[in-house]
Amino acid sequence: MKSTTGLVLAIVASLTFAQAWADDEQVLNSAPIDVDGYVHQEQNVTDGELERIKSDLSQAKNLTKLADEKSKNITKLNGQTENLIEAEEDYVDKAAENKEIMKDLNAKRAEQKKKLDCVMAENPGPECAKYVRHRADTVSVAQAAPVAAAPIVTGQAPEVIADPSNPFEVIKLTPYAGVTNYSGKVEKLESQFAGGLNLETNVTSRVSMGIGFKYAQFSTQDYANGFGNQYGSQYYNTYGQAGREIQFKNMGINMFGKFFITQGQRFRPYVGAGLGYNRATLKYAQNDNYQFGNNQFGSEEANLSYATGSLSAGSEIMISKSIGINLEMNYTTGLGSGNSNNSNGLNSFNSPDQRRLNQLGQEVINSNQISLFAGMLIVF
């Protein structure tokens, strides 16, 4: 009896312990509680083979991604390579083209040098036939194939074109005419005729120099004659209330230079300056040797010589290569007083109008002379 009861108690005690052990095992094997981060997370269980598989998978993904990147870069590189090839082809084409241009340029230079050597040669050979068309002092006796020459019209000389860049290559002849106004301190007069002839040549393509001859004349009434002022009305009764007519004539020679502002083929404006020497004559038109008492009238005459300076501005207008028109405005004034020479020997006391002529002559030669000229331009 006691042994049965003890066996039962042992079985009950064993079941109770087994239950308690199962509960403790469940608590120990449950997921840890993370309180404020002090409990580490459970690590996944793995082994070497699994890690190798993961590594192979990662490498496969990286290789796939690298292959995609290489494919994209290869596509871009192909496009850039095509552009580079096109650029290289363009460079080769340009280089070939420039080579041809340089080849033509060198050939032209060689041709020009050969032509210059032939032109400068004293006795050019047959190889210069196409460059030297005519030499009066050279006769070619070398046998060669006939060269076709340009037809020459009988009686017509070959045209020679002057080069203005060579000094004294161009010669110009300019006859001109116009009007001159004399503006002095007292008198204001205008010429009845003014004109002349200029001959000039080039020094450079822009500068020319020349020499010219000019002539001018005018007449005026002697309102301030000495006889009428000193001796009353008898003088006026003899020659009229207007007084006697004074005639002025001037001849001069001058040297000048011009600077051409532009080098056009048709219009060539210029400015210039010059120096001149002049002879002027003043006398009365009524030369009847009228005498009143000791005073003589009618044969008075004043001869003056004087220097002038001038400034000019104008333009050449070419109609053809050898004919043109020249328009010019000119300012001239006397340089100092003129030298007077009275060839008739009359003195100003016995011939009071002689003083009038001398005074008028000094007034004219020292006046401001403004001239407008138009002329024909002939180029040789």
Residue type, 30: S
What's the pLDDT score for residue 333?
94
Range with the lowest mean pLDDT among 3-12, 252-261, 301-310, 331-340? 3-12
Q: Is residue 121 part of a domain?
A: no
Percent of all residues in the chain with a pLDDT value above 90, rounded to a whole number: 31
What's the pLDDT score for residue 25?
55
Q: For residue range 29-80, list pLDDT tens digits in order.
A: 555 555 555 555 555 555 677 788 888 888 888 888 888 887 777 777 777 7
Cα–Cα distance for residue pair 9/19, rounded to 1 Å: 15
Q: For residue range 275-287, list pLDDT tens digits in order.
A: 999 999 998 876 6
What's the pLDDT score for residue 267?
94
Q: Which tokens sit at 2?
A: 């006691």
Q: Is residue 63 part of a domain?
A: no
Residue 376 has pLDDT above 90, yes or no: yes
Q: CATH code at 315?
A: 2.40.160.20
- Selected residue with higher pLDDT from 158 and 98: 98
What's the pLDDT score for residue 81?
67
Q: For residue range 320-367, list pLDDT tens digits in order.
A: 999 999 999 999 999 987 777 665 555 555 566 777 788 888 899 999
What's the pLDDT score for residue 233?
37
Q: Is residue 89 part of a domain?
A: no
Residue 134 has pLDDT above 70, yes or no: no
Distances, alpha carbon 356 to alpha carbons 232, 281, 334, 337, 344, in Å:
17, 13, 19, 16, 15
What's the pLDDT score for residue 162?
61
Q: Is residue 325 part of a domain?
A: yes
Name the DSSP letter for residue 293. Answer: T
Q: Is residue 213 part of a domain?
A: yes
Residue 119 has pLDDT above 80, yes or no: no
Name the DSSP letter for residue 316. Answer: E
Q: Is residue 202 part of a domain?
A: yes
Q: Is residue 129 part of a domain?
A: no
What's the pLDDT score for residue 140?
46
What's the pLDDT score for residue 7?
63
Give me the torsion for CA of 291, 297, 299, 304, rounded to 10°.
150
Residue holding tokens 């598989």?
Answer: 53
Q: Which residues face 198 on adjacent strands?
A: 174, 212
What's the pLDDT score for residue 235?
46
Q: Is residue 55 part of a domain?
A: no
326: domain range?
A: 171-379
Name the DSSP letter for residue 46. Answer: -
Cα–Cα distance for residue pair 375/191, rounded to 1 Å: 17
Task: Name the 3-class secondary structure at 95.
Answer: helix
- Going by C-alpha positions, the residue among 217, 231, 222 that lies closest to residue 359 is 222
Residue holding tokens 């004074």?
Answer: 246
Phi, psi of 231 (to 5 degrees): -120, 20
Residue 122 has pLDDT above 80, yes or no: no
- Domain count along the chain: 1
